[in-house]
Amino acid sequence: MPGNHNDIEKRLWGAADELRANSKLKASEYSLPVLGLIFLKYADFKFRQVEQDLKGKGSERRPIGKLHYQAQGVLYLPENARFSNLIRLPEGTDIGNAINEAMKAIESENEELKGVLPVDAYTKLDNSTLRTLLKTFNIDQNHPRWSVTLPGRHLRQDL
């Protein structure tokens, strides 16, 4: 998709502007919350793709579970750890705690991620900033492929 890199770049700069204006984080600390949310969005998208593929393949005797998703090469995401649920949290919810709990839930369901995810990075940010960041990375992924060209490199991801 030509020009898609401009949208990604604008979103990243928008996130940096939001953090600069509304947090006490130093510029060198922006990557942790931003990359964590991008990770959650990507993991949620892949999970929902496989969820669609697995629909109707389970039975009462053998319901679809964590191992079915992992066999398809995606992380199993508990309900509370899905970006699609985090973006819909009602006003007044402690979003920082909800995101931290989402990261912990993903680590507990996916052994290979133990100690890797930013599990305490989000309580430093206020709800308004976190809601804005969630909206910033709530990217429309209706296209089967998402292609990004950045200066000096080309990334192509199935989202």
Q: Output 152 or 96, whichever has higher pLDDT.
A: 96
Domains in the chain: boundaries: 4-138
Please report the DSSP string for 27-96 in residue order. GGGTHHHHHHHHHHHHHHHHHHHHHHHHTT---SSS---HHHHHHTT-----GGG-HHHHTTPPTTS-HH
pLDDT band at 107 (very low <50, low <70, confident <90, very high): very high
Q: Report whether 75 contacts 46 (CB < 8 A).
A: yes
Asked if residue 81 has pLDDT above 60, the reply is yes
In this predicted structure, what is the pLDDT of residue 145?
A: 42
pLDDT band at 5 (very low <50, low <70, confident <90, very high): low
- Write the pLDDT tens digit of every residue in 109-133: 999 999 999 988 899 899 999 999 9
- The domain made up of 4-138 is a member of CATH 1.10.10.10: no
Weakest mean pLDDT among 17-21, 28-32, 80-84, 139-143:
139-143
CA–CA dist 65, 28 (Å, integer) = 39
Nearest CA-CA partner of 38 in 86, 97, 95: 86
Collapse the DSSP code of 141 into the 3-class scheme (helix H, G, I; strand E, B; otherwise coil) and give the result. Answer: coil
Q: What residues contact 44, with CB distance under 8 A and at least 6 apart? A: 77, 82, 83, 84
78-87 average pLDDT score = 95
In this predicted structure, what is the pLDDT of residue 57?
A: 84
In this predicted structure, what is the pLDDT of residue 141?
A: 57
In this predicted structure, what is the pLDDT of residue 154?
A: 42
High-pLDDT (> 70) share of the chain, %: 84
Asked if residue 40 has pLDDT above 60, the reply is yes
Cα 23 to chain centroid distance, Å, stands at 20
Looking at every residue in the chain, the average pLDDT score rounds to 84
Which residues on adjacent β-strands are paired with residue 146?
157
pLDDT band at 59 (very low <50, low <70, confident <90, very high): confident
Q: Report whether 87 contacts 108 (CB < 8 A).
A: no
Asked if residue 58 has pLDDT above 50, the reply is yes
